[in-house]
Amino acid sequence: MNKFDRIISILILLQSKKINTAATIAERFETSLRTVYRDINTLKNAGIPIIGDPGIGYSIMEGYRLPPVMFNEGEALSMLTAEKFMANIADHETQQHYQSAMTKIKAVLRSSEKQALDILDDSIAITPYKTEEHKPYLQDLFKSIAARLLLQITYKKTDGKMSERTLEPIGCYHRSNKWYLVAYCQQQKDYRTFKMNRIQKVILLDKTFNRTHINLQHYLEEQAKAWKEQQKAQVVEVLFDTSIVEFANRRKYYFGLIEEVQQERGVRMKFWSYSIEIFARWLMPFTDKAVVLKPNVLQDRIQELSKELYQHYHS
């Protein structure tokens, strides 16, 4: 990105958020802090009312706005692709808001860019791996997070019983085609993760909370770390026959591949696995085309699963 484009992009970024630190700007545009300081001074010298100092952050004086920004073709096509994903992962109200925003974006495009979008609109499809019911709670949850409003939910627990909770929402995240809500539960006096498809009812209370909470990303990292510490990692070695190596390659990194060696009969792969149970179930469809070299406990579990499968269909 050349200097002119970078400075204009920094100006747009400053208008998109209340405060932007120099470190954030440097990371976004892959430049040094010194370069960011020079760019900020360039904008100030051009008459842009920027407030802030190094170490604190920068913002645009309230009331100052640029005229409508023109999107280039690459940005518009990226937005179109995002719209396709949105249709599969969001509730109906969120989809409508996104479609409305896309209509406004298309309105400022040049004719050639509109034509490119029209062609690609029918030529890009996102098929979800697994569909689930998207309950109409996303917008309410987003609003409660942004305004720090208390939430009251009716939640269906694993055992099927209903539970009433009053929550201080922290954030939402999407994983494996499912939405999750992370919040501080006033009943449990601790942080909890709630599956969206189990939330039966949502009420936004006209009351804010002042408690300072953990950052969502930090919470997710801590949860992942705690889960790994609870698991007993083991080295797993499997010899995959040449005929099914292609299929093993599709998930090998997901199961913790750390080494692979080409052999005469196929490929020997070594994994660092935290779950023998999950690993055994992954290998089951490969039948005799995947030979477990170690550990023995994995061989034993596959034998048990094979017997259970046989009994299931012959009982």
Give the DSSP per-residue string, the chain.
Answer: --HHHHHHHHHHHHHHSS-B-HHHHHHHHT--HHHHHHHHHHHHHTT--EEEETTTEEEEPTT--PPPPPPPHHHHHHHHHHHHHHHHHS-HHHHHHHHHHHHHHHHTS-HHHHHHHHHHHTT-----SS-----TTHHHHHHHHHHTEEEEEEEE-TTS-EEEEEEEEEEEEEETTEEEEEEEETTTTEEEEEEGGGEEEEEEEEEE-------HHHHHHHHHHHHHHHS--EEEEEEEEGGGHHHHHTTTTTTTEEEEEE-SSEEEEEEEES-HHHHHHHHGGGGGGEEEEE-HHHHHHHHHHHHHHHHHHH-
- pLDDT at residue 74 in the model: 76
* 167 and 209, same domain (yes or no): yes
Least confident of 83-92, 174-183, 257-266, 291-300: 83-92
Cis amide linkage into residue 136, ω under 30° from 0: no
Confidence of residue 238 (pLDDT cuts 50, 70, 90): very high
* 292 and 247, same domain (yes or no): yes
* 214 and 243, same domain (yes or no): no
Confidence of residue 182 (pLDDT cuts 50, 70, 90): very high
Number of domains in the chain: 4
Give residue-wise pLDDT tens across range 267-309: 999 998 888 999 999 999 999 999 999 999 999 999 999 999 9
Residue 162 lies in a domain: yes
Beta bridge pairs of residue 51: 59
Residue 68 lies in a domain: no
For residue 266, give its domain range.
234-314
High-pLDDT (> 70) share of the chain, %: 92
How many whole angstroms separate alpha carbon 299 and alpha carbon 303?
A: 6
* 216 and 239, same domain (yes or no): no
Residue 131 lies in a domain: no
Residue 259 lies in a domain: yes
How many whole angstroms separate alpha carbon 271 and alpha carbon 257?
A: 4
pTM: 0.56
Least confident of 19-23, 26-30, 50-54, 137-141: 50-54
Residue 178 lies in a domain: yes
- C-alpha of 56 from chain center: 29
Token pair of 61, please? 């004086």
Residues 144-157, mean pLDDT to the nearest whole number = 93
Tell which residue, 63, 27, 57, 17, has the closest CA to residue 40.
57
- pLDDT at residue 258 in the model: 92
- pLDDT at residue 205 in the model: 93
CATH number of the structural domain spanning residue 307: 3.30.70.240
- pLDDT at residue 133 in the model: 60
Token pair of 70, please? 């023109």
Least confident of 59-63, 137-141, 151-155, 273-277: 59-63
* 250 and 292, same domain (yes or no): yes
- pLDDT at residue 134 in the model: 62
